[in-house]
């Protein structure tokens, strides 16, 4: 498990925006009600009570695997979060409304619609909301919505990174710039293994992102499907308590 923390990671939920104010917050470029963020009542109550809430992405549901395996996976991930005493908050755009926390009907809607649902990074959120469409959030899109809701922790599989040959294509995932601009702790298994891990770590350093891996000093940076890559992690953390601190 690899915590990746964006700027301002020391901010705490106690100083986050009150859930009651979230409904009045609109996405930049959005219009009217299509841009307001709707927080599921269970998530809002947990945030107000200072309980643990974990944001989850939804691209894995729409684009990661076929139905019904995608729905089963989404349910299993939410159940795992609950089993550890936290409240899951899967993020997506449904009918033009950005949502933080989905009910069963919304999860099934995304799972059945599959790739007909638009993949949404930060860039796409406002346009999909304005068009009253459906959107499955990537890592960067999920970070935006989770932060608006006052959530501080987001768990996912692998994040995007710098693609091989990026010195020619300039293909760098928006996930990396989001990590540098949005104060959220992202717990993941590193970057996807098909990417250039070394250049991704360099880019994260440029963005001022704190990168740490659970393990002893000198622990390797993970490689998505495998626990270790050829690169050392910039920082090691002995346990989850140290990560939380």
Q: Which helix (H) or strand (E) holds 245?
A: none
Catalytic residue, candidates 108, 152, 178, 192: 192
Alpha helices in 101-196 (DSSP H): 104-113, 122-130, 139-149, 166-169, 174-181
Task: In whole angstroms, give the CA distance from residue 154 to residue 147.
Answer: 10
Indicate the SS3 state at residue 84.
Answer: coil
Positive/negative CA dihedral, 212, 214, 217, 220:
negative
Q: CA end-to-end span of the chain, whole Å?
A: 16
Query: Can you name the residues that pair with 210 across neighbouring β-strands?
Result: 5
* Calpha distance 144→54 (Å, rounded): 14
The DSSP symbol for 213 reads E
Burial class (CB in 10 A: 0-12, 13-18, 19+), 233: buried
Task: Please give the structure tokens belonging to residue 77.
Answer: 């991930």
57 is catalytic: yes
Catalytic residue among 57, 78, 108, 152: 57
Beta bridge partners of 119: 136
Q: Determine the Cα–Cα distance for residues 50 and 125; give it in Å rounded to an integer.
A: 28
Task: Give the residue numbers marked as catalytic.
Answer: 57, 192
């Amino acid at each position: 498990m690899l915590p990746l923390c964006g700027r301002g990671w020391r901010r705490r939920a106690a100083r986050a925006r009150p859930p009651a104010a979230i409904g009045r917050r609109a996405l930049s470029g959005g219009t009217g009600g299509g841009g307001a963020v709707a927080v599921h009542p269970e998530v809002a109550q947990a945030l107000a009570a200072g309980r643990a809430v974990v944001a989850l992405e939804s691209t894995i549901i729409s684009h990661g695997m076929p139905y019904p395996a995608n729905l089963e996976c989404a349910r299993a991930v939410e159940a795992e979060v609950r089993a550890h005493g936290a409240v899951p908050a899967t993020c997506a755009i449904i009918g033009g409304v950005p949502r933080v926390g989905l009910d069963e009907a919304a999860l099934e809607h995304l799972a059945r619609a599959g790739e007909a649902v638009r993949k949404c990074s930060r860039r796409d959120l406002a346009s999909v909301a304005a068009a009253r469409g459906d959107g499955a959030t990537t890592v960067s899109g999920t970070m935006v919505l989770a932060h608006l809701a006052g959530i501080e922790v987001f768990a996912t599989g692998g994040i995007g990174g710098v693609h091989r040959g990026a010195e020619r294509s300039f293909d760098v995932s928006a996930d990396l710039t989001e990590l540098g601009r949005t104060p959220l702790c992202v717990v993941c298994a590193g970057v996807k293994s098909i990417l250039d891990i070394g250049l991704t770590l360099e880019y994260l350093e440029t963005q001022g992102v704190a990168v740490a891996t659970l393990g002893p000093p000198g622990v390797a940076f993970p490689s998505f499907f495998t626990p270790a890559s050829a690169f050392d992690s910039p920082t090691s953390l002995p346990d989850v308590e140290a990560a939380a601190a």
